[in-house]
Amino acid sequence: KPIDLARPKQNLQNPGFLPEERSWMSRYLKSGFHDVFRERNPDLEGAYSWWSYRFGVRAKNIGWRLDYGTVNTDLLDRVTDAAIHPNITGSDHCPVSVRLK
């Protein structure tokens, strides 16, 4: 979704945000899987899990949410938390987590 990257209009034709990739993800989620972070934070902007190493964009939070925690419908009621951990460094990606009871 456009909310999942800092500059969606500039990236419409870039891998990771191509129309066919967005379509695949929509079909996946409609098949019975849930993006638990986005369902719990539907309007939260600036929540990214990947930043290019170029141009210091991590410090500016110009990123993408490329990493997802999904569960099927049977597990949805067991989810107690879904988070992105941008303060954990060491990679161009940061960890994401889904906690189940």
Q: What pLDDT is stored for residue 88 in this prediction?
A: 97
Q: What pLDDT is stored for residue 85 in this prediction?
A: 98
Task: Collect the ranges in the chain with pLDDT lower than 50.
Answer: none
Does the predicted TM-score (pTM) go above 0.85? yes
Domain count, the chain: 1
Q: What range does the domain containing 6 cover? A: 2-100
Q: Return the CATH number at 65.
A: 3.60.10.10
Q: What pLDDT is stored for residue 66 in this prediction?
A: 97
* Side-chain-side CA neighbours of residue 83 (13 Å): 8
Q: What pLDDT is stored for residue 12 in this prediction?
A: 94
Coil, strand, or helix at residue 36?
Answer: helix
The contacts of residue 5 (CB under 8 Å, 6+ apart) are: 11, 16, 17, 48, 63, 64, 65
95 is written with which tokens? Answer: 């960890």
* Side-chain-side CA neighbours of residue 47 (13 Å): 18
